[in-house]
Structure 1
Amino acid sequence: MRPNALLHPALSLLLTATLVAQSAPPPLAGTALPPASAMPLPYDRGSAAVWQGLQKLRTRASLLTVNAHPDDEDGAMMAYEARGKGVDASLFVLTRGEGGQNVMSGDYWDQLGLVRTQELLASTGYEGIHLYFGRFADYGFSKTLEEAHKQWGHETVLRDAVRIVRILRPMVVTSSFNGNFADGHGQHQVSGEMAQEVFNAAADPNMFPEQIKEGLLPWKVQKVYARVPFARVTEKGIFDYATTRWEPVVFHNYVNTTDIKTLPSVTVQVPVGDYSYVLANNYSAIAREGLAQQRSQNGGIGPALPAPQNSAYHLWATRATTSMPEKESDFFEGIDTTLPAIADYLPAAERNPWQQQLIRLATTVADAGTHFDPADPGKVVP
C-alpha cells in the first residue's frame, strides 16, 4: 500500500512513516533501545515545546552573552530568557577552557578542550540557547587584563567579537564579567571588556572593513549589561585573587571611557527562581541540570532548591531613545520587540503594507497563546 501521491507532502510523509512503522519487524531479543541521551530533553517535548514555540513566535528579542570559558555562563539567566521569555539567546565563548583543571580524568590541554566543548554543548541544551566558540587558547590561570591582551591581542579578540555580533545581530549583549579586577583573572576581564567594546565597534563601518566587504554589515547593539560582581568592598578596596593585591574600587566603562568608583548598581533583576508550570521547574534548577553536565571542573553539581532567586545586572550602555528608569523591568525595556516592528528595517515608504501583515500575524500568534492548554495542546492548531 502506498500513500496517494496527490496528498500534501507533509501528510504523505507522515502516512509513509506510519506504514513503515506498522510493517517493521519487532526488535530482536536483547536489542538495545536508543539511549536517553539521544532523545530530546523533556523541556523540548510535548506541551512544553509547544508553549515555548508560541513564546518565540510572539517576539523578535535577541541576546548574546560573551564569556571567556565554559562554565562562566549565567545559565539561569539564559534559561529564563530563552525558555521563559522566548528570546533568541546565544553564547559566545572565547576559549574551549583547555587551560582549566580536570577532576574527572587525566585529559589536559587540547584533550581537555574537547571534553569541555562537549560538556558545554550538553549544558547549553538545557538552557535552550545557541553556542559559538572563539579561537583563543586558554593558556591557564591569567593574572591581569594586560597579560591576556599580550597573549591574545586586543584587536584580534575585538575583531572576532565584532564578527559574531555582525553575524547574529543581537539587540542586547551581556557578560558575566565587567572587565575589572573583581572578575577573577585576566581572561575573564577580556570577555567583560569585549562585551562592552562591541557596542561602538560593531556599529562602526570603519572598524574591520574586511568584514563589511564579506557582507557583514554594521550592527547597532541596543544595550550592554554585565552581571553585578560578587566582590566584597572594604576600606582596602577590592581584593584581586589573581595577583593577591588590594585594588582601588574603580570600574571602567569601556563604551564611554568613564569610571565609577563604587560597585556597579543593579539595573535589572532577572527572576531566575520563577517557577514555570509548563516546564515543571524553575529556571535556576533547569540551568543547574545543565551545569551538572560540566563535570571536569568540579565533578558535577547538585540541583537548585526551589526558592525565590534573582540574577542582578548593571546597564553599561544603551541606545534606547526613551528615558530609561533607574530600575528596569527586563533587558529589553525601551526596545520594541514586537513582530510589527520588523517592518522598521524597511524604508519608511515601504513599511505600511508589511506592518499591516505583521500586525495580523501577531494577532494570530496572540490568539494561539490565549487558547494554549497544556493538557490539550492541539487546541492551538487552527
Structure 2
Amino acid sequence: MKSIISAVFAFFLIFSFSTAQENRLGNNPLSSSEIYHQIEKLGFLGSALFVAAHPDDENTRLISWLDNEKMARTAYLSLTRGDGGQNLIGSELREQLGMIRTQELLEARNIDGGEQFFTRANDFGYSKHPDETLEIWDKEAVLSDVVRIIRKFKPDVIVNRFDHRSPGSTHGHHTSSAMLSVEAFDLAGNKSAYPEQLDNLETWQPERLFFNTSWWFYGSRDAFAKADKTNLIEVESGNYYPYSGRSNGEIAALSRSQHQSQGFGSSGSRGTSTEYLEFLKGSFPEDKSDLFSGINTSWSRIDESGSVEKVWRKLLVNYDFKNPSASLNQLLKLKTQLEKLPDSYWKEVKLKEVRQLVLDMTGVYLNATVNQPYATPGETVDVDIEITNRALQSLNFKVNGNSDLQIIKNNQRVLPNNSSTTVEAQLSIPKNQKPTNPYYLEQEGSLGMYAVADESLIGLPETDEPFSVSMDLIFDGQKINYEVPIIYQTTDRVRGEVYEPFHIKPAVSISFTQPNYIVTNFEEPTEVIATVKAFQDVKNFSIVTSAKGDWKISTTNADLSPIKAGMSREFTFNVLPKPGTEADLQFRFIANGQVFNQEVVTVAYNHIPDQQLLKPAASRMVALDLKNAAKSVAYINGAGDDVTQAIEAMGTTVVKYNPNELPADLSMFDAVVVGIRAFNVAPDAMTNIQPQLNAFVNNGGTLLMQYNTNRGVRSDALGPLEITLSRKRVTDENAAVVFLAPEHPVLNTPNQLTAKDFEGWVQERGLYFPDAWDSAFTPVLGMSDKGEPITKGSLIVAEYGKGHVVYTGLSLFRELPAGVPGAYRLLANMLSLSSNKSTIEKETDQKL
C-alpha cells in the first residue's frame, strides 16, 4: 500500500513540476510529499553560494543536489547576465540578450531550487585573460558587489566553478569570477572592507571555500584518475528523490534546458554520479563525504530555539500525507515559537519558509490579476483578486486597500471548504509611475559595468512587480499577511493559461523604420520615417528632431492631430547628410509637459515571462562612400541576426528562407548568404540543400557563409570546398588587420578598402575562425590578439566554377547593427564578387 501511495504522490508532483516551469509568476501547487520535503528543509540551517561568470556556467547538478539532497539554502551568483554572447533563438543581442538570459536563469532556479544573484559586471564579450577582464569590469566595483552579496546571503560554503590559479587558460571572465570569489571570501568578514555596506548589512565570514573541479581541469580522465585527491571532497550527486519521482540528474537537466538562447537542451541522467570539490580555504570538513560537516546547521544555530526544534520534530512525525492540512495547527505553533526568538538572519529565513508552507499545506490559492498586459501612468484598471479555500473547514480573509488600490466589493468574508471568491478592485496607476524597465538599464553604463543608482538593488536579478495586493488571512486565530503581486493573466488557445508581468508603459513609443541608414547619395536628401505608437490618448503635442554635425533635417509629414491609444502614426523627414560623417538622428515627442524620446521594446518568448525595455529612440545615419553591385540576395536563416536589415540598407533586395524552404531556382539572386550558426542549428537541412548551393555557385553565384561554431560541423559540410573550423578568435576589436592578399577583388571592388575600414568595430573582430581549408581558398585578412600568432582564417574566398565561395568568422552580426561603416563596405564587396566578375568580363569583351 505504501508503494502505491508513493507512486500517486510522485505523479502529482510531476504534474505540479511541469506546471511550475511554465507558471513561474503564478501559483505553483505542491504535492503532499513535496510539502513534507519542505518541512524537512526547515530543519537545515545552512547555505551555499555557487559562483561563476555567466548564465550556463553553473553546475545545475550540484545546485540541485545542495537544495534537494542537503536541503541547504542555495544560490548561484553569476557575475554577468551573458550580454556578450550569441542568441540561438532570435536576433536580440547585448542588453536584450542579457534580459533573456536573466530570465532563463530564473527559470532554471525555479526548477533546481536555487536563488539567483548578479553583480553589475557587463559581459563585454570573450576575454582571453583576467587582466583585461578586471580592467574593463572595474575590479573594485565588481569585488564590492561580490562582498555585498556574501554579506547579504551569508553562505556557509562557497563553491567556485572555475580555478583562480590558471589565468589565461580559459575565458578571462571565468578565471576572474574565481579570483574575485577567493578575495571576497576574506573581505566579507573584514569590517574595514567596504565599510559603507555596513550601514545596512553585517560582516560575514563563510566557513569554507571550494573549487568544483573535474577531470577536464586535469587534461584527461586518466590524469585525473592518477591525481592526488587528498584535498578533494567527493559528492554523490546521482541521488534519486522518491518525493519527486526524479533523479538529481533529471532535475539538473530540466534546469539546464532552460538556457534555450544558448541551445543547452539536456537529457536527464539516472544512476550514480560524482562531483568533486577541491578545498581551498577555511576549515576542512570533518567528514570528507559532507562539505557541511563541522558547521552547525541545526536549530541550535538560533539562540533559545530548543522549543522550536521540538515542535518541528513533532510536525515531521505526525505529518499526514493524505491530509496535509491536518498538520496546520502544529505548523502554526512552530511559527509562534519562531516569532518569540531574538531577531536573527535564520529566524527571518525560516519564518518566510513557514509562511509559504501555511499556504502550501492548506491549499489556499491567492491570485491578483488584470486582463490587460499593460497600463500607462494615470490610468485606472480593474483587478480581480481570487481567494480559494481548498482544504480548510473555513477561511477568514480580508483584502486591504491602499492609496492606489480601491476595493469595490467582497473584501472581507468567511470562505467555506472548497469554495472560491473573487474580490473586485480598481488600481489607479500614479501619474508619476515610472515605466517598466530593468533597473540596471535605467542609466547609461560603461563597456564593462552597469550603473545602478539604488545600492539596495545591487545583486538582484530584477525588481518586484510594481503593484501588489495586501491580504490578511486568519488560520486558527492567527492572522498572517500576504503580499500578492498583480500580474496579467490570459488564456492562449495553444498554451492555455498564461501568466505574464503587468507592465507600465509610457504614453508613447518612438521607433525608426531602420536602425541604420546607409546614405550613399550626398546630393539628394534621404527619407527617414519615425513611427509614434500611442499607449494612451495624446493631443496638443509637438515633435523635435536633431542630428549632430551639419546634417540638415526638414519635415515632410508632421500631422499634429490627436493620436488615439493603440494607434500609430508615421512622421517623415528628409535628411541631407554631410559626406563622410556619421550621426544619430533623434526624435523627441513633447506632450503634457513631458518629453518622450524612448522606444518600448518587448522581448517575448514562451519559455520566459515577457520583458520590456526602454531604449533611446535614435537611428544611426552613416554618410558613406559605398558601391554595391549585388541587386538581390537570398538569405538562409540561421540562429538569428539582423544582417538582412543591413543588406537592405545598402539597396539590395533580400528574400529570407528557412533552410528547408530554399527554392529550386536560385538564378535570380546574385548571392546566397547563410545566417550565423545555420550549420549548427539546422545541420540536416543544410546538408540537404548543399548540392543546390554548390550548383548555384558553379553557375556564377556567390555563397557567403557567416560564422558557425566548430562543434559537430564536419570539414566537408560548409559548402562545396572543405573548411575546418577551430576555436580561434580575436577578441580585441581594435586588433591590427593585415591585408594578406591586398590585390584581391574582395578588398578592392567595388569599394577599395583600407585600414580605416576596420576602425570603430565593437566587442570583437570575430570568432571560430577556420584553421584549415581547401587550397582553392585565398586567405584575405590576418589578425591576432596581443602576444598571439596571426590567424589567417577570418576571411577566406575561393573561385568555384563561375562563382565564389566566401567564409568569414568576422562578427558582422555585431558590426552591421552597430552601424560600423567599414563592415558595410566589406559586406558590399563580398556580395558583389560574382557581379563584379561578370561586369569585368563584359568590359573586357567590349575592349576586344
- TM exceeding 0.5: yes
User: Structure 2: how far apart are the matches of 1:85 and 1:41?
Assistant: 27
Residues 133 and 173 in structure 2, CA contact (< 8 A), matched pair in contact too: yes
Q: CA deviation at 1:86?
A: 2.1
User: Structure 2: how far apart are the matches of 1:218 and 1:232?
Assistant: 36
> Residues 377 and 184 of structure 1: is their aligned pair in 2 closer, same or farther, counting only changes over 3 Å?
farther
Alignment-derived partner of residue 177 in structure 2: 191
Alignment-derived partner of residue 370 in structure 1: 317
Alignment-derived partner of residue 270 in structure 1: 235
User: Structure 2: how far apart are the matches of 1:293 and 1:265?
Assistant: 36
Q: Are 1:228 and 2:213 an aligned pair?
A: yes
Q: CA deviation at 1:114?
A: 1.1
Q: CA deviation at 1:200?
A: 0.9
Could you tell me which amino acid in structure 1 is paired with residue 272 of structure 2? P
Q: Are 1:71 and 2:56 an aligned pair?
A: yes
Could you tell me which amino acid in structure 2 is paired with residue 308 of structure 1? T
CA RMSD of aligned residues (A): 2.7
> Residues 79 and 59 of structure 1: is their aligned pair in 2 closer, same or farther, counting only changes over 3 Å?
same
Could you tell me which amino acid in structure 2 is paired with residue 317 of structure 1? K
Could you tell me which amino acid in structure 2 is paired with residue 311 of structure 1? E
Alignment-derived partner of residue 400 in structure 2: none
Q: Are 1:316 and 2:280 an aligned pair?
A: yes
Alignment-derived partner of residue 139 in structure 1: 124
Q: CA deviation at 1:199?
A: 1.7
User: Structure 2: how far apart are the matches of 1:71 and 1:153?
Assistant: 23
Q: CA deviation at 1:220?
A: 0.9
User: Structure 1: how far apart are the matches of 2:27 and 2:273?
Assistant: 23
1:303 maps to which of 251, 262, 267? 267
Q: Are 1:148 and 2:133 an aligned pair?
A: yes
Q: Are 1:123 and 2:87 an aligned pair?
A: no
2:71 maps to which of 74, 83, 86? 86
User: Structure 2: how far apart are the matches of 1:41 and 1:311?
Assistant: 34
Q: Deviations over 1:292-327 (max 9, x none)?
A: 1111112x423213111122111111147xxx45x6
1:331 maps to which of 291, 313, 317? 291
Residues 201 and 207 in structure 1, CA contact (< 8 A), matched pair in contact too: yes
Q: CA deviation at 1:372?
A: 4.0
Q: CA deviation at 1:84?
A: 2.7
Residues 211 and 279 in structure 2, CA contact (< 8 A), matched pair in contact too: yes
Alignment-derived partner of residue 241 in structure 1: none
Q: CA deviation at 1:133?
A: 1.5
User: Structure 2: how far apart are the matches of 1:376 and 1:80?
Assistant: 28
> Residues 40 and 220 of structure 1: is their aligned pair in 2 closer, same or farther, counting only changes over 3 Å?
same
1:171-186 aligned within 5 A: 171-181=156-166, 184-186=170-172
Flag the structure with more relative contact order, 1 or 2, with Cα contacts below 8 A and sequence separation at least 6: 1
The answer to which structure has the higher helix fraction is: 1
Residues 288 and 302 in structure 1, CA contact (< 8 A), matched pair in contact too: yes
User: Structure 2: how far apart are the matches of 1:379 and 1:270?
Assistant: 37
Q: CA deviation at 1:36?
A: 7.3
Could you tell me which amino acid in structure 2 is paired with residue 105 of structure 1? G
> Residues 149 and 264 of structure 1: is their aligned pair in 2 closer, same or farther, counting only changes over 3 Å?
farther
> Residues 223 and 232 of structure 1: is their aligned pair in 2 closer, same or farther, counting only changes over 3 Å?
closer
Alignment-derived partner of residue 554 in structure 2: none
> Residues 105 and 223 of structure 1: is their aligned pair in 2 closer, same or farther, counting only changes over 3 Å?
same
User: Structure 2: how far apart are the matches of 1:118 and 1:264?
Assistant: 38
User: Structure 2: how far apart are the matches of 1:282 and 1:41?
Assistant: 26
User: Structure 1: how far apart are the matches of 2:252 and 2:213?
Assistant: 19
> Residues 216 and 35 of structure 1: is their aligned pair in 2 closer, same or farther, counting only changes over 3 Å?
closer
Residues 43 and 279 in structure 1, CA contact (< 8 A), matched pair in contact too: no
Residues 55 and 84 in structure 1, CA contact (< 8 A), matched pair in contact too: no
Q: CA deviation at 1:109?
A: 1.1
Residues 175 and 192 in structure 1, CA contact (< 8 A), matched pair in contact too: yes
Could you tell me which amino acid in structure 2 is paired with residue 228 of structure 1? T
> Residues 73 and 36 of structure 1: is their aligned pair in 2 closer, same or farther, counting only changes over 3 Å?
closer
Q: CA deviation at 1:380?
A: 4.0
Residues 272 and 282 in structure 1, CA contact (< 8 A), matched pair in contact too: no
Q: CA deviation at 1:167?
A: 1.2
Q: Are 1:289 and 2:275 an aligned pair?
A: no
Identity %: 26
**What are the ranges of 5 or more consecutive residues in structure 1 without an aligned counterpart?**
1-33, 239-261, 344-353
Greater C-alpha radius of gyration:
2
Q: Secondary structure at the match of 2:178?
A: helix
Q: Are 1:169 and 2:154 an aligned pair?
A: yes
**What are the ranges of 5 or more consecutive residues in structure 2 without an aligned counterpart?**
1-18, 331-848
Q: Deviations over 1:168-223 (max 9, x none)?
A: 111111121122438731101111112221221011111111112x2322111111
Residues 228 and 265 in structure 1, CA contact (< 8 A), matched pair in contact too: no
Alignment-derived partner of residue 87 in structure 2: 102
Alignment-derived partner of residue 203 in structure 1: 189
Residues 159 and 210 in structure 2, CA contact (< 8 A), matched pair in contact too: yes
User: Structure 1: how far apart are the matches of 2:233 and 2:194?
Assistant: 32
Residues 46 and 73 in structure 2, CA contact (< 8 A), matched pair in contact too: yes
Q: Deviations over 1:126-151 (max 9, x none)?
A: 01121112111111111011111111
Residues 120 and 294 in structure 1, CA contact (< 8 A), matched pair in contact too: yes
Aligned length: 305
Q: Deviations over 1:36-78 (max 9, x none)?
A: 7226899961224312321221021011122111111111111
Q: CA deviation at 1:368?
A: 2.5
Which deviates the most, 307-316 or 368-377?
368-377
User: Structure 2: how far apart are the matches of 1:36 and 1:77?
Assistant: 20
Residues 134 and 160 in structure 1, CA contact (< 8 A), matched pair in contact too: yes
> Residues 154 and 263 of structure 1: is their aligned pair in 2 closer, same or farther, counting only changes over 3 Å?
farther
> Residues 52 and 306 of structure 1: is their aligned pair in 2 closer, same or farther, counting only changes over 3 Å?
same
